[in-house]
Structure 1
Amino acid sequence: MSGWKNRIAGWFIDREFFMRANGQVRFLKLSAQLQRRVVGTVACVVGLWLVVTLGMAINQVSVTAQRMALSQQEAKVESAEERVANYRGSIDEVAKDLERRQKMLESLSDQYLGDVPEAKAQTPATAKPTDEDQTVKTISAVVPEAAGLARVEVRQIQFAEKMTKVALTRTSKAEAAIRQFGLNPDVLARQARSAQGGVFEPFFGSAKKDVRDPRFLKLAASLSRMDAMERALAAIPTSMPAAVMMMSSGFGFRSDPFTGGGAMHAGLDFKGPVGTPILSAAEGRVTFAGFHGGYGKTVEITHANGLLTRYAHLSGVHVTQGQMVHRGLQIGRMGSTGRSTGSHLHFEVRLNGRAINPRKFLEANPDVLKVQTVAGNRAGNAAKEL
């Protein structure tokens, strides 16, 4: 041990350096103590980094393991024996549960997927999965009077799986479209969930004989995610706020039109005649309508998930605070009120209070807009039903 100590001590000795610059010689001395301190600090930083990295890796593995365990638990379906026991216990209770679940499926289909033809198509009876077909045979043999109910349950499960696939497909399309706008779908989903609540009331009650299946929980989660993504997509302001194509000032750094100094421009300016109709770029609620300092007459519309659009320098305002507006509704007229050099519209998009470039929304490609239109139609129909 002493040999190692002596060897390590030999690494840290007083070192002297001579440097010549401009004809002058300078002397620099690094003491052994300073070298040990520097090496010790670096070792501590590296050690701390390794500990943090290892902790993150362990946490990631733990989270992954928990997710896998949860997925396996959710994927666990009642065996044929357990379902036979349910039917044998009380056919009347099973019938009531199946009836209630049928109404739930029809309600979910109408609310979320009513305008999607493939979601309405029924699966042929000959396309039953092998395990479900065997379950029906087992129940029919043990409890003959429950054969019809068993077939109803299988059709419900098939329909639930079909709806889940449709929901996952539409969610994937909506998420891809949201990413095209430079937004994070997961962030929008968390913002949507942050405004939920209510008293917990079990859908299937607490009786032991209730008919349950984890595939229906997966269906509910899939539809909830799809709904959040499509509503978020529909709320993105992609419609032109005025029927003019000339942009007189872009987003970002520019020379101030009054002082000539460098300034930040938080939106886009569209030049046009006084009185040109100004249109809402997306559905939302008017949260400001009036005079707003240098912005002049202004309308602000708050959309879903932290998005806000601002329409400034108007000559007239056609909406009132608190009013709900749909995409394309005239909300005002172009003008030159406030700090303005001429008739134009100042158009801003803000996300959680931070100004972002509106061009990526207004210049979206047709495929993305098509997905947004489908999402908007579904969200609009759901809102009307409510």
Structure 2
Amino acid sequence: MSLQTRITGWKSQIAGWFIDREFFMRANGQVRFLKISAELQRRVAGSVALVVGVWLIITLGMAVNQISVSIDRLALDRKEAKIESAEERVANYRGSIDEVTQDLERRQKMLESLSDQYLEDLPETSRPAPQNRTEDQTVKKISALVPEAAGLARIEARQIQFAEMMTKVAQARTQKAEAAIRKFGLNPNVLAREASASQGGPFEAFFGDATQEVRDPRFTRLAASLGRMDAMERALAAIPTSMPAAVMLMSSGFGYRSDPFTGAGAMHSGLDFKGPVGTPILAAADGKVTFSGWQGGYGNCIEITHANGLVTRYAHLSRVNVSLGQKVERGFQIARMGSTGRSTGSHLHFEVRLNNQAINPRKFLEANPDVLEVQTVAGSRTSASSKAQ
């Protein structure tokens, strides 16, 4: 069968799809006639095909562009992450031992700074660095070809092994913190940005000269991993998981309820804890007092902003024990329970807010023990790190 014959057959088959169609509809005892011509059907089908085709082209173009960007990014990452081969390191030692010594001193200064910032509470640092066969072979090669550099080569190998080990430790702790944050129903990246916010100051090169940097990417990767771990653990540690009052009776939950004054449907943006007037009110997490005073229907009210951007609100207080700008720790007594403002009796109204949007506090106060254990470890490290600084 020739190509022309096949094309003619396909055209005939397609033409058979579009024929004049007639429809009869009966409604309220009346019969209506509706006719859809073959020409109209072809136009509609053509329009749909055109829209689908344009959509496919755009989607394909976006996919190709994404692949291209990914390839370029991968190439850049490979270029940035290029690690000197044994031959290149031997050449460096042969070229200038003084220059290698200065580079090792910069690496050591960087490692000591990172250790002061992040590693004091990491028990993994006490473990011996694992032996790396490739590094051992490189050290032997350098020692054989440049005997006077043997000691420097061993120092460099230990630094590299330490950096790689601590990078893995930091990445593992970051993953634990991220998983714990997600169990609270929160986005780790959002909280990390909030935890890292409000930073600044003039640029001052760490090594005194902006052109002098640690060239091996394993050390910069360690710094980035520790920075990410620190941001995640600070965000996790600042989640308000401690009970704000030593009472277990919850008189009103989060969400829809009948208003206690009017009976109308209303949104309750927190939890109410019932207790006697004067019951101690405690900070649910470390933070800074960003409001203290009278706030309409809340009565006497305190707001604490935490390191991750979350805000806790404590309302209807009979007495306030903190002042604006004061820093408080988890469990610190900030006030006493009362019935000020729009209240029908002594209780604490407790809220948690992110970007001024109320969040159900129960998922924080009723967290699983395994999540709280990860939070406790993170809190201990970040607290020790902050005090050290």
The reply to whether TM is greater than 0.5 is: yes
Amino acid in structure 2 at the alignment position of 1:225: R
- In 1, the alpha carbon distance for the partners of 2:20 and 2:256 equals 54
Q: Tell whether the 8 Å contact from 1:317 to 1:331 is kept in structure 2 after alignment.
A: yes
**Corresponding residue number in structure 2 for 1:318:** 321
How far does the alpha carbon of each residue in 1:226-245 deviate from its partner, in whole angstroms, 9 at most, with x for none?
Answer: 01100110111111111111
CA 1:49–1:282: 2 relative to 1, 3 Å: farther
- In 2, the alpha carbon distance for the partners of 1:301 and 1:63 equals 43
**Corresponding residue number in structure 2 for 1:107:** 113
Q: Tell whether the 8 Å contact from 2:239 to 2:308 is kept in structure 1 after alignment.
A: no
Q: List runs of 5+ in structure 1 lacking aligned partners.
A: none
Kindly state the Cα deviation for residue 162 of structure 1 after the two structures are TM-superposed. Answer: 1.3
- In 2, the alpha carbon distance for the partners of 1:227 and 1:211 equals 21
Kindly state the Cα deviation for residue 343 of structure 1 after the two structures are TM-superposed. Answer: 0.9
State yes or no: 1:47 paired with 2:53.
yes
Kindly state the Cα deviation for residue 34 of structure 1 after the two structures are TM-superposed. Answer: 4.9
Kindly state the Cα deviation for residue 145 of structure 1 after the two structures are TM-superposed. Answer: 1.5
Give the number of equivalent residue pairs: 382
How far does the alpha carbon of each residue in 1:27-53 deviate from its partner, in whole angstroms, 9 at most, with x for none?
Answer: 234355654554344334423432343
**Corresponding residue number in structure 2 for 1:350:** 353
**Corresponding residue number in structure 1 for 2:92:** 86
- In 2, the alpha carbon distance for the partners of 1:191 and 1:293 equals 28
**Corresponding residue number in structure 1 for 2:101:** 95
Q: Tell whether the 8 Å contact from 1:94 to 1:211 is kept in structure 2 after alignment.
A: no
CA 1:42–1:379: 2 relative to 1, 3 Å: same
Q: Tell whether the 8 Å contact from 1:349 to 1:358 is kept in structure 2 after alignment.
A: yes
Secondary structure class of the residue paired with 1:139? helix
Q: Tell whether the 8 Å contact from 1:256 to 1:262 is kept in structure 2 after alignment.
A: yes
Amino acid in structure 2 at the alignment position of 1:279: L
- In 2, the alpha carbon distance for the partners of 1:87 and 1:154 equals 14
* Worse-superposed segment, 330-339 or 84-93: 84-93
CA 1:80–1:251: 2 relative to 1, 3 Å: same
CA 1:289–1:41: 2 relative to 1, 3 Å: farther
State yes or no: 1:135 paired with 2:138.
yes
**Corresponding residue number in structure 2 for 1:189:** 192
Of 300, 304, 312, the match for 1:301: 304
Of 274, 278, 283, the match for 2:286: 283
How far does the alpha carbon of each residue in 1:209-240 deviate from its partner, in whole angstroms, 9 at most, with x for none?
Answer: x7621110110111011011001101111111
Of 55, 63, 68, the match for 2:74: 68
State yes or no: 1:120 paired with 2:126.
yes
Amino acid in structure 1 at the alignment position of 2:101: A
Amino acid in structure 1 at the alignment position of 2:190: V
Q: Tell whether the 8 Å contact from 1:267 to 1:347 is kept in structure 2 after alignment.
A: yes
- In 2, the alpha carbon distance for the partners of 1:176 and 1:148 equals 43
How far does the alpha carbon of each residue in 1:230-286 deviate from its partner, in whole angstroms, 9 at most, with x for none?
Answer: 011011111111111111111111111111111111111111111111111111111
Kindly state the Cα deviation for residue 60 of structure 1 after the two structures are TM-superposed. Answer: 3.9
CA 1:33–1:301: 2 relative to 1, 3 Å: farther
Secondary structure class of the residue paired with 2:316? strand
* Worse-superposed segment, 43-52 or 289-298: 43-52
Amino acid in structure 1 at the alignment position of 2:192: A
Kindly state the Cα deviation for residue 294 of structure 1 after the two structures are TM-superposed. Answer: 1.0
Secondary structure class of the residue paired with 1:316? strand
- In 1, the alpha carbon distance for the partners of 2:155 and 2:60 equals 52
Q: Tell whether the 8 Å contact from 1:348 to 1:358 is kept in structure 2 after alignment.
A: yes
* Aligned 1:317-336 pairs, distance under 5 A: 317-336=320-339
**Corresponding residue number in structure 2 for 1:245:** 248
Q: Tell whether the 8 Å contact from 1:238 to 1:361 is kept in structure 2 after alignment.
A: yes
How far does the alpha carbon of each residue in 1:6-47 deviate from its partner, in whole angstroms, 9 at most, with x for none?
Answer: 876765555431112343212234355654554344334423
**Corresponding residue number in structure 2 for 1:360:** 363
- In 2, the alpha carbon distance for the partners of 1:320 and 1:282 equals 17
Secondary structure class of the residue paired with 1:260? coil
Of 371, 375, 380, the match for 1:377: 380
TM, length-normalised to structure 2? 0.89
CA 1:18–1:187: 2 relative to 1, 3 Å: same
CA 1:81–1:304: 2 relative to 1, 3 Å: same
**Corresponding residue number in structure 2 for 1:21:** 27
Secondary structure class of the residue paired with 1:264? strand
- In 2, the alpha carbon distance for the partners of 1:233 and 1:253 equals 29
**Corresponding residue number in structure 1 for 2:238:** 235
Q: Tell whether the 8 Å contact from 2:121 to 2:384 is kept in structure 1 after alignment.
A: no
Amino acid in structure 2 at the alignment position of 1:178: I
Amino acid in structure 1 at the alignment position of 2:150: A
- In 1, the alpha carbon distance for the partners of 2:275 and 2:79 equals 61
CA 1:274–1:32: 2 relative to 1, 3 Å: farther
Kindly state the Cα deviation for residue 64 of structure 1 after the two structures are TM-superposed. Answer: 3.7
How far does the alpha carbon of each residue in 1:115-146 deviate from its partner, in whole angstroms, 9 at most, with x for none?
Answer: 122213232xxx53222122212222232211
Of 155, 158, 162, the match for 1:155: 158
- In 2, the alpha carbon distance for the partners of 1:66 and 1:197 equals 31
CA 1:172–1:330: 2 relative to 1, 3 Å: same
- In 1, the alpha carbon distance for the partners of 2:315 and 2:126 equals 46
